[in-house]
């Protein structure tokens, strides 16, 4: 956000410092072409924030996003000048959704067999 400067788990805003609790990090992976964080806001909301290649993020957006057409125009313009771009998408989830997902994520992260594949499957549940 233009009026915010974020450093680690807090943000300096025009209204003061906002602290976010980092709940999970799903690291960037060249196959996934994205990374995701799950944070708890000062208002106790849970946000999923995903950053990645435009082609990957676009596939995970809710259909009918009003600003997507304008965003695609900017992406095309940037690509014509040789710039690489990333998109950032976010959504709010309930405490119940987070708790159910978190159990699956811990199981995947501690799996002995195909750990990366299991994490990717569980991450996909949250990133759509």
Query: What stretches of 61-114 show up as alpha helix (H) in DSSP?
Result: 68-80, 95-109
Q: Exposure of 112 by Cβ count < 10 A (0-12 exposed, 13-18 middle, 19+ buried)? A: exposed
- The pLDDT score that the predictor gives to residue 79 is 87
Per the structure block, which two tokens stand in for 109? 């992260």
86-93, strands of its sheet edge to edge = 21-29, 34-40, 46-53, 86-93
Instruction: Of 32, 49, 31, 33, give the one whose Cα is nearest residue 41.
Output: 49
- The pLDDT score that the predictor gives to residue 12 is 64
pLDDT per residue as tens digits for the range 30-57? 888 899 999 999 999 999 999 998 889 8
Q: Are 29 and 52 in contact (CB under 8 A)?
A: no
pLDDT per residue as tens digits for the range 69-78? 888 889 889 9
Residue 21: phi and psi, rounded to 5, are -95, 125
Confidence tier at 9 by pLDDT (50, 70, 90): low
- The pLDDT score that the predictor gives to residue 10 is 57
pLDDT per residue as tens digits for the range 76-111? 899 899 988 889 999 999 999 999 999 999 999 998
| Letter string b/e over residues 32-47, b meaning 16 or more CB atoms within 10 A of that residue's CB | bebbbbbbbeeeeebe
Whether this prediction's pTM lies above 0.85 is answered by: no
- The pLDDT score that the predictor gives to residue 50 is 95
């Amino acid at each position: 956000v233009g009026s915010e400067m974020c450093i680690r788990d807090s943000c300096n805003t025009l209204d003061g410092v906002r602290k976010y609790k980092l709940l999970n990090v799903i690291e960037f992976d060249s196959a996934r072409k994205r990374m995701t964080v799950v944070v708890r806001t000062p208002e106790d909301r849970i946000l999923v924030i995903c950053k990645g290649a435009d082609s990957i993020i676009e596939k995970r957006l809710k259909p009918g996003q009003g600003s997507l057409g304008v965003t695609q125009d900017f992406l095309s313009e940037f690509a014509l000048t040789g710039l690489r771009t990333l998109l950032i998408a976010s959504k709010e989830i309930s405490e119940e959704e987070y708790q159910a997902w978190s159990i699956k994520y811990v199981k995947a992260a501690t799996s002995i067999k195909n750990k990366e594949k299991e994490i990717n499957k569980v991450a996909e549940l949250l990133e759509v």
